[in-house]
DNA sequence: AAAACTTTGTGAACGAAAGCACAAAGCCGT
DNA sequence: ACGGCTTTGTGCTTTCGTTCACAAAGTTTT
């Protein structure tokens, strides 16, 4: 037991770890020190069998007949997710969305720090937003600020170019809010958040409901 | 051929249809009238076999030896996604994120219209944002404005309450930006967009790269 | 009109993920 | 010390999703 996690945590499991961590943090905040898979699963919105299987990939951190130690499991998951260190983040594109993200407190809350804000618009470059001076990508490059994660919030037609330049800068993880398919080297991870896609998926189910008789749950 | 799609389009396929539609729209914009599965797949960031299988769930809309008619396939997918009608959307929580979404032009672009903006803060209620007067949920209820899709951008601790009230109002599709697990009736669809989760997944892979020797792609 | 070529549509193989069900493991009360 | 109770961890089954690979169906060329 308590092994440092065998290699090969399934991608689907990784996708749920943040939810578990959040639920555990909430528990800890209200004083709970121990929690069963049933309770934690409910809090995270999954089935208990799935939670246990997910946790089994990280190692055995529960006590049979009792449950999981909230503190212990939290740090285990945080460690697995690489949240023991702080990851420097750059936001590229300070329009409506970029500014909202820059103003968002949720970054620093856990393992992430916005270290730079980037835009190309001369009207924006040089201004101070959230305590950071907006710079160009070129300036960021010259400054040599280490950056691990790049968040792209530029218009879609700029996204590929921005991604290329971020990669050249050493960024190997990209979170893309622009509705564009990014092409990057194989060692760069890209995740996409797309509002239009989400709405269209909802519309699909909304429309299907109109045709089909019986109601049915459609989540995720 | 050209049947109106048998019931049972896999969820994974539905999730990719918006990307296909976007790629097709881009093609149409630049004058392309016909496209092969290979090209369209590249534009959408998937494998051609997957594209063809996905499209096969909607019916046979290609011509062997040639490819797909851009216009025809576009309207087929749009129809499948329920984008032939306009869906009324309400945004609840006009903070940083809510305002960015309200200002976003991408809604109307395709099948969605923001018909109401909601907040509880007396400093915000009554003000005009993007041509709409911000109201409370109670006022929205009294006004009787039909709403199909609710977007939640309130703090997490308000999300469940807002969701309950939206459901009571008749909303059956919810897009939740707050980091909270929502509990809704089985006939209500909920989709979640969670920035912290996305970053943490990136951090996981970032961290793993440090340990593992060979590079590897990690997308989606 | 037939041969050569291109590309679709899909059965079948493969792989990943979810869910079931229960033995094993630990607690607690007596 | 032991029996009963609770809850974990996991092998097995089933379901879902992806990829392969090729016959069928069309176009173009000769
Ligand atoms: N605003 C939203 O709610 C929302 C929602 C979903 C998706 N998106 C997407 O997010 C992106 C940004 O949306 P927005 O509403 O903030 O747009 P916006 O036009 O308000 O902002 C874009 C910003 O990017 C900057 N920019 C442009 N090219 C750049 C470059 N090459 N390098 C650096 N900066 C550059 C612009 O100067 C501008 O400040 C778009 O792709 C949009 O489709 C936005
Ligand atoms: N800002 C971001 O970039 C960002 C990114 C990811 C996630 N989020 C999440 O989105 C949500 C909103 O973020 P934000 O930065 O815009 O927060 P914010 O505090 O700026 O805005 C929240 C708004 O919701 C309103 N509100 C609160 N309770 C309400 C209620 N019961 N009914 C109606 N309105 C209510 C508030 O008056 C406020 O205007 C949060 O849950 C946050 O975690 C934000």
Mean pLDDT over residues B196-210, rounded?
Answer: 94
Mean pLDDT over residues A67-95, rounded?
Answer: 96
Taking residue A174's Cβ as centre, other Cβ atoms within 10 Å add up to 24
Contact A39, A51 (CB under 8 A): no
Q: What is the pLDDT of residue B68?
A: 97
Mean pLDDT over residues A22-37, rounded?
Answer: 95
Q: Find the closest chain B residue to A207 by CA distance.
A: B82
Contact A220 B192 (CB under 8 A): yes
Mean pLDDT over residues B50-78, rounded?
Answer: 96
Contact B121, B146 (CB under 8 A): no
Atom number, ligand 2, closest to the C-alpha of residue A101: 3
Assess whether pLDDT exceeds 60 at residue A90: yes
Q: Where in the sequence of chain B do the CATH 1.10.10.10 domains occur?
A: 6-79
Q: Phi and psi (nearest 5°) for A210?
A: -60, -35
Taking residue A156's Cβ as centre, other Cβ atoms within 10 Å add up to 16
| C-alpha to C-alpha distances, A150 to A166, A168, B121, nearest whole angstrom | 7, 12, 33
Q: Which tokens belong to A203? A: 């519309």
Which protein residue has its CA closest to C1' of C6?
Answer: B65
Mean pLDDT over residues B2-7, rounded?
Answer: 45
Q: Chain B contacts of A83, Cβ < 8 Å?
A: 200, 203
Contact B111 A203 (CB under 8 A): yes
How many Cβ pairs within 8 Å bridge chains A and B?
200
Distance from Cα B157 to the centre of ligand 2, integer Å = 10
At residue B214's C-alpha, the angle toward residues A86 and A89, to 5°, is 25
Atom number, ligand 2, closest to the C-alpha of residue B93: 24
Q: What is the pLDDT of residue A212?
A: 63
- Strands B128-129, B112-118: pairing is unpaired
Q: What is the pLDDT of residue B213?
A: 57
Assess whether pLDDT exceeds 50 at residue B194: yes
At residue A79's C-alpha, the angle toward residues A74 and A82, to 5°, is 130
CA neighbours within 13 Å on the CB side: how many for B92?
32
- State the Cα–Cα distance between residues A136 and A138, nearest whole angstrom: 5
| C-alpha to C-alpha distances, A76 to A2, A62, A110, A197, B168, nearest whole angstrom | 9, 11, 14, 34, 40
Q: With bands split at pLDDT 50, 70 and 90, how would you rate the model's confidence at B212?
A: low
Average pLDDT, chain B: 92
- State the Cα–Cα distance between residues B11 and A219, nearest whole angstrom: 10
Q: Where in the sequence of chain B do the CATH 3.40.50.720 domains occur?
A: 87-198
CA of A140 vs chain B CAs: smallest distance (Å): 21
For chain A, give the number of residues.
Answer: 220
Assess whether pLDDT exceeds 50 at residue A186: yes
Q: Give the residue, B213 or B173, on which the prediction is more confident.
A: B173
Q: With bands split at pLDDT 50, 70 and 90, how would you rate the model's confidence at B7?
A: low
The 10s digit of each residue's pLDDT in A155-184 is: 999 999 999 999 999 999 999 999 999 999
Q: Which CATH architecture has domain A87-198?
A: 3-Layer(aba) Sandwich (3.40)
For chain B, give the number of residues.
Answer: 220
Mean pLDDT over residues A182-187, rounded?
Answer: 96
Q: Give the residue, B1 or B198, on which the prediction is more confident.
A: B198
Mean pLDDT over residues A118-147, rounded?
Answer: 97
Q: With bands split at pLDDT 50, 70 and 90, how would you rate the model's confidence at A1?
A: very low
Contact B146, B86 (CB under 8 A): no
CA of B201 vs chain A CAs: smallest distance (Å): 6
Q: With bands split at pLDDT 50, 70 and 90, how would you rate the model's confidence at A217?
A: very low
Q: What is the pLDDT of residue A110?
A: 77
Q: In which element (H, E) is residue A174 found?
A: strand A173-176
Q: Chain B contacts of A154, Cβ < 8 Å?
A: none
What topology is assigned to B6-79 in CATH? Arc Repressor Mutant, subunit A (1.10.10)
The 10s digit of each residue's pLDDT in B114-135 is: 999 999 999 999 999 999 999 9
Assess whether pLDDT exceeds 90 at residue B81: yes
Range of weakest confidence among A141-155, A204-218, B181-195: A204-218
Q: Chain A contacts of B44, Cβ < 8 Å?
A: 181
The 10s digit of each residue's pLDDT in A35-66 is: 999 999 999 999 999 999 999 999 989 999 99
User: Which nucleotide is closest, CA of B1 to its C1'?
Assistant: C9
- State the Cα–Cα distance between residues B205 and B186, nearest whole angstrom: 34
Give the ranges where B48-148 is alpha helix by DSSP (H). 48-56, 70-80, 96-103, 137-143
Strand C bases near protein CB (under 7 Å) are: 5-11, 16-21, 24-27
Which protein residue has its CA closest to C1' of C24?
Answer: A64
Q: With bands split at pLDDT 50, 70 and 90, how would you rate the model's confidence at B8?
A: confident
Range of weakest confidence among A3-7, A41-45, A116-120, B21-25: A3-7
* Relative orientation angle of helices B37-44 and B11-29, to the nearest 10 degrees: 100
- State the Cα–Cα distance between residues A154 and A116, nearest whole angstrom: 15
Contact A217 B106 (CB under 8 A): no
Q: Global pTM?
A: 0.94
Mutate to test the pocket of ligand 1, among A102, A153, A171, A179 (most ligand atoms within 8 A of CB): A153
Taking residue A9's Cβ as centre, other Cβ atoms within 10 Å add up to 16
* Relative orientation angle of helices A96-103 and B96-103, to the nearest 10 degrees: 170
- State the Cα–Cα distance between residues B212 and B184, nearest whole angstrom: 41
């Amino acid at each position: 037991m308590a092994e440092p996690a065998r290699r090969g945590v399934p991608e689907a499991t990784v996708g749920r770890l943040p939810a578990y961590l959040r639920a555990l943090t909430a528990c800890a905040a209200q004083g709970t020190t121990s929690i069963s898979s049933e309770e934690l699963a409910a809090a995270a919105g999954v089935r208990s069998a799935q939670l246990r299987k997910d946790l089994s990939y990280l190692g055995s951190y529960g006590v049979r007949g009792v449950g999981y130690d909230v503190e212990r499991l939290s740090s285990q998951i945080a460690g697995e997710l690489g949240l023991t260190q702080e990851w420097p983040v750059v936001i590229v594109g300070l329009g409506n969305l970029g500014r909202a993200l820059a103003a968002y407190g949720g970054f620093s809350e856990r393992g992430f720090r916005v270290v730079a804000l980037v835009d190309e618009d001369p009207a924006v470059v040089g201004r101070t937003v959230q305590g950071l001076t907006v710079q160009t990508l070129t300036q960021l490059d010259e400054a040599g600020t280490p950056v691990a994660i790049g968040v792209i919030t530029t218009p879609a037609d700029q996204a590929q170019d921005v991604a290329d330049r971020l990669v050249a800068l050493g960024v190997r993880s990209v979170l893309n809010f622009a509705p564009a398919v990014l092409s990057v080297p194989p060692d760069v991870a890209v995740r996409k958040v797309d509002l239009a896609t989400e709405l269209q998926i909802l519309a699909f189910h909304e429309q299907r409901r109109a045709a089909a008789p019986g109601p049915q749950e459609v989540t995720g």
